Amino acid sequence: GENVEQHPSTLSVQEGDSAVIKCTYSDSASNYFPWYKQELGKRPQLIIDIRSNVGEKKDQRIAVTLNKTAKHFSLHITETQPEDSAVYFCAAKDTGRRALTFGSGTRLQVQP
Amino acid sequence: EPEVTQTPSHQVTQMGQEVILRCVPISNHLYFYWYRQILGQKVEFLVSFYNNEISEKSEIFDDQFSVERPDGSNFTLKIRSTKLEDSAMYFCASKAGPSQRELFFGEGSRLTVL
């Protein structure tokens, strides 16, 4: 089955700096890669996703890049703000499965 | 905005007891899921449910677990005889249809097994 590895496990940045979180996946059939943000004690919420026919997608301060050859994808947050502090999970899925496989999460701390 | 709702928010139970966690998915959604998250660890898939039957399950979802959609709105997860290692946050999620990508999560039910 699919295996998703995520790095780093924790990331601390100064407000205004950029943050990058990286994930690798094992199943070359995976074609959908969402990112979820989970604030403390809250539900995971989708913040951005990308499909395998696209190399990059941007939504304001958030961008995701995908390298299908290397089987890795990354989340980029620019101009970080304290409210970006949360745990971020990457995930992967192929069309043959209904379920997402999640990475182990990255705890992002944005220092004011 | 419609949301997935879960009850209870927190349940404490003794080892060996049966537990039922309840979920009300978003009303026009067709695909339903249970995930769990042991404290500080990743979100793990348990089971998916579509058209009144299990469509996929993980190795975690053994004979101690079952799911049911007893009526048109509720989706339940039952753990027959809880173990200490079942202590986790259990998230219900739903998705509108096969071409819809976004998974909507509930706020979770925290299960503590003593």
Side chain identity, residue B90: Y
**A59 in B contact zone (CB under 8 Å):** no
Task: Name the residue among A32, A43, A103 with its Cβ closest to that of B105.
Answer: A43
Rounded distance between C-alpha atoms, residue A36 and residue A44, angstroms: 6
Q: In Å, how far are A15, A36, B44, B79, B80 from A105, measured between CA atoms? A: 21, 9, 12, 26, 30
- Record the tokens describing residue A94, joined without a space: 């192929």
Rounded distance between C-alpha atoms, residue A11 and residue B114, angstroms: 33
When mean pLDDT is compared across A21-35, A65-79, A96-110, B80-94, the lowest value belongs to A96-110
**A32 in B contact zone (CB under 8 Å):** yes
Chain B CB contacts of A42 under 8 Å are 107
Decide: A54 and A5 in contact? Cβ < 8 Å.
no
Decide: B113 and B10 in contact? Cβ < 8 Å.
no
Instruction: Give tens-digit pLDDT for A11-44.
Output: 999 999 999 999 999 999 899 999 999 998 888 9
Instruction: Give tens-digit pLDDT for A81-112.
Output: 999 999 999 999 977 777 899 999 999 999 99
Rounded distance between C-alpha atoms, residue B23 and residue B25, angstroms: 6
Residues A49-74: what's their mean pLDDT? Answer: 93
Q: Report residue B98's pLDDT band, with 50, 70 and 90 as the boundaries.
A: confident
Task: Name the residue among B45, B48, B106 with its Cβ closest to that of A43.
Answer: B106
Rounded distance between C-alpha atoms, residue B34 and residue A105, angstroms: 18
The pLDDT score that the predictor gives to residue A41 is 84
Residues A56-63: what's their mean pLDDT? Answer: 95
Mutate to test the interface with B, among A88, A94, A100 (most CBs of B within 10 A): A100
Instruction: Give tens-digit pLDDT for B58-73.
Output: 999 999 999 999 887 8
